[in-house]
């Protein structure tokens, strides 16, 4: 449990990506953790926007029934793989 005292009421506060706890009535805060915008659809990416991940998930799902969208995503994949292979990420 670290520096937190059992059976004590704490007030939790967030400042940017940090989470603090302080005893009720005290002003001194203790850093207890960090709040990350974790992408629930990608376990590797802890800083991505969950709304953006949901959008791409929805696009991929829709592409299963939409030939035009499916073909567009396939072109995007080709551009992505070629860019990764040739190091062309600036264009």
Whether 52 and 89 map to the same domain: the answer is: yes
Q: What is the pLDDT of residues 30-79, one digit of tens each?
A: 888 876 665 555 555 555 566 777 888 889 999 999 999 999 999 998 98
Whether 56 and 29 map to the same domain: the answer is: no
Query: pLDDT tier at 14 (50, 70, 90 boundaries)?
Result: confident
Split into its structural domains, the chain has a count of 2
Whether 11 and 31 map to the same domain: the answer is: yes
Mean pLDDT along residues 19-27: 89
Range of the domain at 4: 1-35
Q: How far apart are CA 26 and CA 43, in angstroms?
A: 37
Whether 26 and 63 map to the same domain: the answer is: no
Looking at residue 55, its pLDDT comes to: 84
* Three-point CA angle 16, 53, 42, nearest 5°: 85
pTM equals 0.44
pLDDT top residue among 4 and 55: 55
């Amino acid at each position: 449990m670290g520096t937190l005292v059992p059976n004590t009421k704490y007030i939790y506060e967030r400042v940017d990506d940090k989470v603090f706890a302080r005893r009720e009535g005290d002003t001194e805060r203790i850093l207890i953790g960090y709040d990350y915008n974790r992408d629930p659809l990608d376990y590797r990416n802890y800083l991505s926007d969950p709304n953006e991940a949901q959008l791409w998930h929805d696009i991929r799902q829709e592409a299963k029934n939409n030939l035009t969208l499916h073909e567009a995503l396939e072109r995007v994949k080709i551009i992505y793989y070629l860019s990764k292979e040739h190091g062309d990420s600036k264009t």
